[in-house]
Amino acid sequence: MEEILTLVASPAAWIALLTLIVMEIVLGIDNLVFVSILTNKLPEENRARARTIGIGGALIMRLLLLSLLFVLVGLTDPIFAVFGEEFSWRDIILIAGGLFLVWKATTEIHHSVDPDVEEEIDPKRAVVMNFGLTIVQILALDLVFSLDSILTAVGMTPHLPIMICAVIVSVILMLVASGPLARFIEQNPTVVMLALGFLLMIGMLLIADGFGVHVPKGYVYAAMAFSGGVEALNMLARRTRKRKGQMH
C-alpha cells in the first residue's frame, strides 16, 4: 500500500504510466485488427459477444503473465541451440504465433480473392462451430501479442502496479474501439485486404524476431501509417467520384 501511495505522488510514475498506456495501445492495434477481421465473419448478433470474449481473454492473459513475472523472465533464457543460434521459449512462442498469423492471413486473402463453395451443413451447428473456432483463434494470438506487450512493459518500468494499470486501461480502450473498427472494416472491403496485408507482415516480423532478427517497431508502424494514408486517399477519391456521378 505504501508503494502505491508513493507512486501516486510521483510525477515520474504518472509519466511512465501514460507512456506505457500509449505503448500498449500501439502494440494492441494488430491484435485489434485480427479480432475485427475474425469476428466480422460471424453472424451480426454474435460479433459483439465474440469481441468481448476475445479482448477479455487478452486482459486475463496479460494479468496472468504479470502475476508470473518470474516465469516470464525465465522464458527468455536459452533452452537449446541450432547452428550456434540459441532459442528460448519466447522465441518458440513468437515463431509459432508468426507462422499461425501468416497461415491465417494467407488463407483469408485466398478466400477473399477466390471464395470456396461452402458445404451444406446445419446452420445452427455452423454458427456454434464458427463461434468456437473464432474464440480459439483469437485466444491463441492473444497469447503471442500479450507476451510481446508484457515484455515491453517489463522493459519500461520495474513497478508492477504501473504495469497492471496500463494493461487494464489499454485493454478497456481496445474494447471500446473494437466495435467502431469492426464496422469500419466491414463497410470498406478494400480495407480488409490492407489489414490482412498488415497481419501477414506482422506474422513475418514475429518469425524474424523469434530467429533473433529484430526489426524496429517504428519502421513497421510508419509503413502501416503510410499504407493507411494512401488507402484513406483512395476512399476519399471513390466517394468524390460517386458523389459527382450522383449529381450527373
- Residues 130/42, Cβ–Cβ less than 8 Å: yes
- Per the prediction, the chain carries an average pLDDT of 77
More confident position, 46 or 15: 46
Residue 151 in this model has a pLDDT that exceeds 80:
no
Q: Which of 28, 196, 32, 191 is nearest to 103 (CA)?
A: 196
What phi and psi, each to the nearest 5 degrees, are found at residue 184? Answer: -65, -45
What's the pLDDT band for 124 if we cut at 50, 70, 90?
low
What phi and psi, each to the nearest 5 degrees, are found at residue 85? Answer: -95, 120
- The residue written with cell numbers 466495435 in the block is 179
CA 44 to each of CA 49, 58, 121, 195: distance values in angstroms, whole numbers, following the listed order: 10, 22, 19, 20
Per DSSP, 42 falls in state: S
CA 183 to each of CA 33, 53, 148, 152: distance values in angstroms, whole numbers, following the listed order: 11, 18, 27, 30
Of 137-146, 159-168, 170-179, which one has max mean pLDDT? Answer: 170-179
pLDDT digits (tens, 9 = 90+) for 44-97: 888 888 888 888 888 888 888 777 765 666 677 788 888 778 888 878 888 888
pLDDT on residue 4? 60
Answer whether 0.95 is exceeded by the pTM: no
| Cell numbers standing for residue 120 | 451444406
| Cell numbers standing for residue 53 | 470474449
CA 182 to each of CA 5, 145, 166, 175, 231: distance values in angstroms, whole numbers, following the listed order: 39, 19, 24, 11, 17
CA 42 to each of CA 46, 123, 134, 182, 211: distance values in angstroms, whole numbers, following the listed order: 6, 12, 8, 12, 35
Residue 216 in this model has a pLDDT that exceeds 50:
yes
Residue extents of the structural domains in the chain: 2-215
More confident position, 112 or 85: 85
Helices vs strands, H then E, count in the chain: 9, 2
- Taking the C-alpha atoms of residue 81 and residue 158, their distance in angstroms, rounded to an integer, is 30
Share of the chain above pLDDT 70, in %: 81
- Taking the C-alpha atoms of residue 208 and residue 228, their distance in angstroms, rounded to an integer, is 24
pLDDT digits (tens, 9 = 90+) for 156-171: 666 777 778 888 888 8
